Amino acid sequence: MSLILTLNAGSSSLKFGLYAAAAEPIEELRGQVDGLGPEAKLILEPRGQAREETALGPTDHAGAVEAILRAIAPATKDRRIAGVGHRVVHGGPEIDGPRRIDTALFAQLTSYERLAPLHQPHNLAAIEAARSAFPGAIQVACFDTAFHRGHPWVNDTFALPRRYYDQGVRRYGFHGLSYDYVLSTLRRDWPRLADGRVIVAHLGNGASICAIRNERSVGSSMGFSALDGLPMGTRSGQLDPGVLLYLMEAEGMGASEISDLLYKESGLKGLSGISHDMRALLASDAPEAAEAVEYYVFRLRREIGAMAAVLGGVDALVFTGGIGENASPIRARAVAGLGFLGLTIAPAANEVSAPRIDAGPVPVLVVPTDEERVIARAVAAQLTGNAEAAE
């Protein structure tokens, strides 16, 4: 049986999965190169075996791909990689599903680097490395923005002169692979909810909220870039554009300095002055940590309410992502005060991150996400010629 490799390149990590190719791909190995930079490490999670960690030392994205290829070499000795799937953050205004990568598409995706400078260059670097390593395999791009294509115009536009919308200055939405997986889980386990009004909170180092009606995205807290909406680990979230004018005029900051500030020094890290990691902030006694968490929860609650307004009500709330799946205090504090929407939390179920944690009329769910599986499914569909199944 041939194999499918998935690559999910972020700014500081490169996740991967290895699957036996099938209509529903069979996971054999997953892992990541974490902490890219001076002290990277390779983490392997073979199916049914203990997790393994290996220090790599100074490693960039190219080195991470090499480390992954060495790690999967034993599994690929007698089987070939038939397809490689890639997470690509930005697919522009038109792409609405997975695409096989050719020269024209790669050039098109390169033109979107300015729209997602923290992620897109790393996504494309992983594609180049995989094309070189597996020249006979099909390469498939899966887009975080694709899930949100087809939004109502009022959700996608800004109140700027219309020519900017035509130039691509619009709200795109992100984390689409995660939302795709959550929706597939709802279809399987809670089909009635999948057809209703669902709010999904993807809470990780990056964070966003999506409003889904009848299995279609109709609203997202993220907009033109992956900076908008909720505060994140190091990203600011929603910001009055007047602040940027102030930074330019009063502080003399240029574009690169502002970019570093908003992408790398803000969010939980900037508010607390301690850490971007929610676990560290929840464990800290520092008042700055408590204030950062309180701001995070306030904005999260506000966005949940906004998405309920977009949907005209809510039939289910879903938490996913590293914080959403594991941080029970954040879930409890976010939902507190939302009883008017029918949302309440059962403390005992919430404490153990049970699949269903509500104590009221509206289901509140915890669904672990799996972006790698979404990518593997898209590759499998391309291999079998059933590309529509992946879209």
Strand, helix or coil for residue 231: coil
Residue-by-residue DSSP string for 127-193: HHHHHHH-TTSEEEEEETTGGGTT--HHHH--SS-HHHHHTT-S-----HHHHHHHHHHHHHH-HHH
* Residues whose CB is less than 8 angstroms from the CB of residue 7 and which lie 6 or more positions away in sequence, other chains included: 14, 15, 16, 65, 68, 84, 85, 86, 87, 126, 127, 130
Residue type, 294: E
* Residues whose CB is less than 8 angstroms from the CB of residue 354 and which lie 6 or more positions away in sequence, other chains included: 366
214 and 312 Cβ atoms separated by less than 8 Å: no
Single out the residue of 306, 324, 318, 322 nearest to residue 358, CA to CA: 318
Q: d(Cα 200, Cα 210) in Å, to the nearest integer?
A: 5
User: What is the number of other CB atoms lying within 10 angstroms of the CB of residue 31?
Assistant: 23
The CA-based dihedral angle spanning residues 158, 162, 164, 169, taken in that order and rounded to the nearest 10 degrees: 30
For 249, phi then psi, to 5°, come to -85, -45
- So which residues are the catalytic ones? 144
* Burial of 194 (C-beta count, 10 Å sphere; 0-12/13-18/19+): buried
Residue-by-residue DSSP string for 276-340: S-HHHHHH---HHHHHHHHHHHHHHHHHHHHHHHHHTS-SEEEEEHHHHHH-HHHHHHHHTT-GG
Instruction: Name the packing angle between helices 120-133 and 103-110 (round to 10°).
Output: 160
Structure tokens at 207: 């964070």
* Residues whose CB is less than 8 angstroms from the CB of residue 348 and which lie 6 or more positions away in sequence, other chains included: none
Q: Taking the CA of residue 327 as centre, how many other CA atoms within 13 Å lie in the half-sphere pointing to its CB?
A: 27
Q: Which residues are bridge partners to 31 per DSSP? A: 16, 44
